[in-house]
Structure formats: structure tokens, C-alpha cells
């Protein structure tokens, strides 16, 4: 057999290197470039976007500053956010800027609610940052005859398991023009009203505790609080499809409030506040 020439051997080696992504090849350089990009933690950004607009001060949401700053810098460079607001605080001004950005992409309705979704955040970060800890609501589905999304349905199933009995929905999500007493809370995803028929006060509290444990901001609502019957109101924390009113309720829940217009102290059982994603990783 004739020996392989040095030129042929080098060509074969180069081809193998390009296919395997060896150091110095275009494939490896592209991979290195992706690795070099800073990360935006979507879970942290969503948390700040729900809490910061409801704060009475300018305190930053713990663990969110670095990711929020990257998002705000990208919005600034698109001339959607003034430089003075690039501060790591995802308040109402940054919410409004992000909403403009979503609309510039052609998004409407819930896709332009000011909360960063995976698609818009990924587009914003192209060449600037990579998105980690993505949160997706999933497709719309039916739960007990009410419309929810897949994430909410999974959360509800786990809450039922912890509670040890059924949870019957009076109202689901994506329900614009529904119960007028809801004031738009159910227009988007993640919002539920749950029947308390046949439940004692202790059982109602146990149901709220189970819902809170899996990542809902949840409260027992009574007729003395509004023009509605007894029920449990729950909002899936960090659902990117939340209507503005539901976003505000989640922010108030983090801040120890009751999620109502009077913003009184939270009257529900105390649990460690976690999102669904945090609950799954616990």
C-alpha cells in the first residue's frame, strides 16, 4: 500500500477538525463566542418585572440586578429607554420600554404585556446575551372545563395532590369580558378562581397553602372584600402571559400584600414564596 502523503494527511486532519469542532476551527470559534456571552436569567428578570413596579421604594429585587441591567442596556441601545433608567430596577418605565420593544416586533395583546417572554428576550439578546432559566406558559388546555395554559394546569395538578382532594374551577384564564368583578385579572394566563363550596375555614386555608407551595399567589376571597361570593383566587407567579392586573397582584404578594386594591397586609397562610420552576428544583 502506498503511504499517504503529508498534504493528504493534513487535509484529512483539517476536515476532521472542522467536523468535530476542534479548537481553532470556525465551529469551535462560534461555540466559544456563544459561551462568552453573558447570561440573562429569565426567571430573575420576570420576578423583578412583577415586583419592582409595586415597590414603594427603589430597592432592587435580590438576584436580578445583573440580568435586568443587560436587558435595560439592550433597550437603551434601541432608543427605547433613557440611559438614566438603566439601573437594574425593572419598574414601570422599563415595563413600558419593553412593551414598546415587543410591539416593534409585531407582537400584540398578551405578547406585548411588558413582561419578557422567551421569544422577545431571545431576539433582544441576539449577539449580546444568552437567555437561561427560560419560563414558558405552554399551549392552552382545558382543566375542568376552564381554559388555562399547560404550565398552570401542571401547577394545579400538583396543588391538588398536596391538598388531597379536588379543586374545582369557577373561572379560568384567557377570559376577557368574563366576570366583571375580576377587573381584567383573568384576561391573560395564570389566573384562576376556585370554588370553596363545602369547605370549612380550615379547609379553605389548607387549599390556599397547597396552591402557594407550588407557585401560586393565592388568597381566600370573601363577600365582605368585594362584590363576589366566597372563593379562592390564585395567580401563577411568573407566567409570561399575565394580564397587567395579575402582574400587580403577584408583585403585591411578594411584598406581603393581599392582592386587592386596598393593598392591605396578606391574610393568607405563610409559606416560602417559590415559582413553579423553583418548586420543581427544590
- Residue-wise pLDDT for 93-150, tens only, equals 999 999 999 999 999 999 999 999 999 999 999 999 999 999 999 999 999 889 999 9
Average pLDDT of the residues in 142-164: 96
Confidence band, pLDDT 50/70/90 cuts, at residue 6: very low
* Contact partners, residue 141, CB within 8 Å, separation at least 6: 147, 148, 149, 150, 153
> How do residues 8-31 score in pLDDT, each as one tens digit?
443 444 433 444 445 566 555 555
* Summary mean pLDDT of the chain: 90
Measured in whole angstroms, the distance separating CA 23 from the mean position of its chain's CA atoms is 37
The model carries a pTM of: 0.86
Task: Provide φ and ψ at 65, rounded to 5°.
Answer: -55, -50
Contact 118, 240 (CB under 8 A): yes
Helix-helix angle 92-104:65-77, to 10 degrees: 50
C-alpha span between 277 and 282 (Å, rounded):
9
pLDDT for the residue numbered 26: 58
Average pLDDT of the residues in 48-67: 97
pLDDT for the residue numbered 160: 97
Amino acid at each position: 500500500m502506498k503511504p499517504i502523503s503529508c498534504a493528504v494527511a493534513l487535509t484529512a486532519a483539517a476536515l476532521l477538525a472542522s467536523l468535530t469542532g476542534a479548537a481553532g476551527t470556525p465551529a469551535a470559534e462560534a461555540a466559544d463566542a456563544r459561551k462568552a456571552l453573558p447570561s440573562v436569567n429569565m426567571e430573575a428578570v420576570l420576578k423583578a418585572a412583577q415586583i419592582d413596579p409595586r415597590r414603594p421604594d427603589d430597592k432592587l429585587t435580590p438576584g436580578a440586578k445583573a440580568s435586568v441591567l443587560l436587558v435595560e442596556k439592550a433597550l437603551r441601545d434601541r432608543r427605547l429607554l433613557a440611559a438614566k433608567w438603566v439601573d437594574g430596577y425593572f419598574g414601570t418605565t422599563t415595563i413600558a420600554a419593553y412593551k414598546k420593544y415587543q410591539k416593534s416586533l409585531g407582537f400584540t395583546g398578551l405578547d406585548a404585556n411588558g413582561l419578557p417572554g422567551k421569544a422577545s428576550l431571545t431576539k433582544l439578546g441576539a449577539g449580546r446575551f444568552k437567555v437561561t432559566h427560560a419560563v414558558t406558559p405552554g399551549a392552552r388546555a382545558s382543566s375542568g372545563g376552564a381554559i388555562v395554559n399547560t404550565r398552570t394546569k401542571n401547577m394545579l395538578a400538583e396543588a391538588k395532590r398536596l391538598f388531597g382532594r379536588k379543586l374545582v374551577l369557577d373561572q379560568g384564564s384567557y377570559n376577557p369580558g368574563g366576570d366583571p368583578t375580576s377587573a381584567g385579572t383573568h384576561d391573560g394566563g395564570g389566573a384562576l378562581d376556585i370554588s370553596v363550596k363545602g369547605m370549612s375555614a380550615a379547609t379553605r386555608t389548607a387549599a390556599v397553602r397547597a396552591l402557594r407551595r407550588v407557585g401560586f399567589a393565592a388568597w381566600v376571597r370573601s363577600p365582605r372584600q368585594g362584590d363576589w361570593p366566597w372563593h379562592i383566587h390564585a395567580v401563577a407567579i411568573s407566567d409570561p402571559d399575565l394580564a397587567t392586573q395579575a402582574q400587580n397582584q403577584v408583585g403585591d404578594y411578594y411584598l406581603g400584600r393581599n392582592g386587592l386594591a386596598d393593598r392591605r397586609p396578606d391574610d393568607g397562610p405563610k409559606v416560602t414564596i417559590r415559582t413553579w420552576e423553583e418548586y420543581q428544583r427544590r
